[in-house]
Chain A
Amino acid sequence: MNHLSAESTPPSPLILAEEVHKWFGDFHALRGINLTVYPQEVIVLMGPSGSGKSTFIRTLNGLETHQSGRIVIDNLELSRDSAALDVIRQEVGMVFQQFNLFPHLTVLQNITLAPVWVRKWSRSQAQAVALQLLERVGILEQAHKYPTQLSGGQQQRVAIARALAMQPKIMLFDEPTSALDPEMIQEVLEVMLTLAAEGMTMVVVTHEVEFARSVAHRILFMDQGQVVETAPPEQFFTQPQTPRSRQFLAKILSRSQLRLTP
């Protein structure tokens, strides 16, 4: 299966997952996941609730540990060895469904924290970068507020800026718009669209069909801990290959239809 188009000699992949298995106690949550992501690719993970999307995306930066199989991020194997893990986490940014901003720090402090403490940048340098990022996500004027003083959409954009401040090579998004009111979803998606257009390598768990259609290189459809179908978006949304994905698509397409009608 080679879905990469124009590349004749593909560069080395940024993410390589081979036969990843994960158990929660007796529960087999990931049953042999394979994924290869090359630089500048955008992968969208879809699937019904409980299919293991979050679990898988969280193994990619070691928030969950896998019990067998191999995960290689930017040529570094993810293992229990904490030195490699520290390096990998600096290269992989993550955005969560619940934003997870630090409520005791201002927006600016949220963003400069990791660059100052982990990358050891000077405070002024980190602040300059943070302000640039805030401008990019369109909330420069909120820099000195606390997260609780912002709307959900603004908080999520801060969270994106916070992850970008570490200048990661890969960005992981776990349902970044699911906790947002409908009118705020667009502002977050726009930031993500720009990011994809700029060539950021991204793995995104989302049910936003329009977003997937316009930027995803591949859609991975997961069910019960397995990747059931992998396809480019036009193919996945028009001719889904398995009964499970057809059923799933029928559900989310009708839902997004509902949302689009005023």
Chain B
Amino acid sequence: MISPGAQRPTQRQLTVSQWLGQNLFATWSNTLLTLVCLAGLGLVGGMICRWLLLYADLAVISTNLRLFWVGRYPLAQTWRLWGILTIASGTLAISWTLLVSLQRRTLMAWIALGLVNGAFSLAGGLTWGIISGLCLWIVGGLSLGQFLRHRHPTLPWLWLLPVQWVLALVTTLWLLGGGWGLTPVSTAFWNGLLLTVLLAVISIGLSFPLGILLALGRRSSLPVIRGLCVIYIEGMRGLPLIGVLFMAQVMVPLVLPPSMQLDQVLRGIIGLTLFSAAYLAENVRGGLQSIPPGQTEAAQALGLSAPLVLGLIVLPQALRAVIPALVGQFIGLFKDTSLLAIVGLVELTRMGRSILAQPQFQGRYLEVYLFTGLIYWICCYGLSMGSRRIEAILKVGQR
């Protein structure tokens, strides 16, 4: 019990030198370690700066930006890609506010970004103008999400999100591939970062529910279902991903009738999904096991049916408990899409290699690989940051 007179100690604001003293130079060994690290950082940083200033030729990046982003997608159809970006950013913005609640800081950042890009566009450049518009669109999406949440706080927004995402995805695929009034664009022209993100998002979206089902199956009381799930999970986990991807490319066509051949991109997605689901299942199972049996019993005693016990009590807690592991899995999957370069999909990594084949940029490995690496890193770091925010929000009330 806190006595009425007791006061919470106020958070002390440290000055920079105090912080340095406490964190970096507290003891001799600490100081030594700090100095060694600083020296190492300086060395590497210096080398990179030297290389950037003296040797790097960033023209290989700037002239090929479009190839990195979207590859050989027909120039005349570029508006469709902007459409996709509009849909995707709007969906993300609304989801973000619905899940995480909006901070004024975030809103201001997007408005600022929009204004800066707007200024660029005045100097000439349609692209800057479009990006500026996108930023303001995101501001709109964020505000709409906030408005909806405050206006109707009781509606089950969390359950509407998957619907919104599926709609966005279907529209995206239609815009990308054409048909129904749009010029068809073969998947051979879906390249670069566009393909990487598409592969990752769809594989994550499919492997997540599949992984949950496998985890539940593995805990089922029916021996047949349990056995099948164990065989599948352990089988998959014993194979290298690249092997699974090759099999998906080679075996799927053998199994299916020739009239029904699957697209190469689709086969890639199948391979990634089947592989990732096995690992996800194990993570989810860990979460399920961490829920004490008393939770299920209490829910049953209240008269909740088995699906309700699972959906309202067990799964929400189990998934929350393993968010970090799940996000780790998703980040891994995002990077694993690069293996599809080997089976012939021109995603980001493979795009980099074909840019290197351009005669005027021969030997510019470092520029291209560093740039590709930077893109992967930004995407993965974004995922990781977003998940940490969501985790912090969901942590309330956890034991």
A102 contact set on B, CB distance < 8 A: 295, 298-299, 313, 317
Q: Output the least CB separation between B394 and chain A (Å).
A: 8
Q: Output the least CB separation between B158 and chain A (Å).
A: 13
Number of interface residues of B (CB under 8 A): 23
Interface centre among B292, B312, B313, B397 (most CB of A within 10 A): B397
Confirm or deny: A34 has a beta carbon within 8 angstroms of a beta carbon on chain B.
no
Q: How many A-B contacts at CB < 8 Å in the complex? A: 71
Q: Which of A58-81 contact B (CB under 8 A)?
A: 61-63
B297 contact set on A, CB distance < 8 A: 63, 96, 100
Tell whether, in the assembled complex, residue A104 and residue B294 are in contact, meaning their CB atoms are under 8 Å apart.
Answer: no
Tell whether, in the assembled complex, residue B304 and residue A114 are in contact, meaning their CB atoms are under 8 Å apart.
Answer: yes
Tell whether, in the assembled complex, residue B294 and residue A113 are in contact, meaning their CB atoms are under 8 Å apart.
Answer: no
Confirm or deny: A128 has a beta carbon within 8 angstroms of a beta carbon on chain B.
no
Tell whether, in the assembled complex, residue B397 and residue A93 are in contact, meaning their CB atoms are under 8 Å apart.
Answer: no
Q: Output the least CB separation between B152 and chain A (Å).
A: 13
Interface centre among B294, B299, B302, B313 (most CB of A within 10 A): B302
Tell whether, in the assembled complex, residue A104 and residue B303 are in contact, meaning their CB atoms are under 8 Å apart.
Answer: no
Bound-complex Cα distance A101 to B396 (A): 15
Bound-complex Cα distance A94 to B302 (A): 8
Bound-complex Cα distance A104 to B298 (A): 14
Bound-complex Cα distance A113 to B304 (A): 9
How big is chain A's contact interface, by range?
20 to 34
Confirm or deny: B27 has a beta carbon within 8 angstroms of a beta carbon on chain A.
no
1/0 contact trace for A84-116 toward B, CB 8 Å? 001001101110101011111110000001100
Tell whether, in the assembled complex, residue B294 and residue A100 are in contact, meaning their CB atoms are under 8 Å apart.
Answer: yes
Q: Assess A89 versus B302: contact at CB under 8 Å? Given A100-B295, A100-B297, A117-B312.
A: yes
Confirm or deny: B34 has a beta carbon within 8 angstroms of a beta carbon on chain A.
no
Q: Assess A61 versus B301: contact at CB under 8 Å? Given A103-B317, A123-B154.
A: yes
Q: Output the least CB separation between B99 and chain A (Å).
A: 15
Interface centre among A86, A94, A103, A118 (most CB of B within 10 A): A103
Tell whether, in the assembled complex, residue A148 and residue B397 are in contact, meaning their CB atoms are under 8 Å apart.
Answer: yes
Confirm or deny: A188 has a beta carbon within 8 angstroms of a beta carbon on chain B.
no
A103-B399, A162-B302 known; 4 new pairs, CB 8 Å cut-off, are: A102-B313, A104-B398, A117-B304, A148-B398
- Can you spell out 26 A-B residue pairs with CB atoms less than 8 angstroms apart? A63-B297, A63-B300, A89-B301, A94-B298, A96-B294, A100-B294, A100-B297, A101-B298, A102-B295, A102-B298, A102-B313, A103-B399, A104-B317, A104-B320, A104-B397, A113-B312, A114-B304, A118-B304, A118-B305, A118-B308, A146-B396, A146-B397, A148-B398, A163-B302, A166-B302, A166-B303
A-contacting residues of B (Cβ < 8 Å)?
Answer: 154, 292, 294-295, 297-305, 308, 312-313, 316-317, 320, 396-399
Closest 3 A-B residue pairs measured CB to CB?
A146-B397, A100-B298, A114-B302
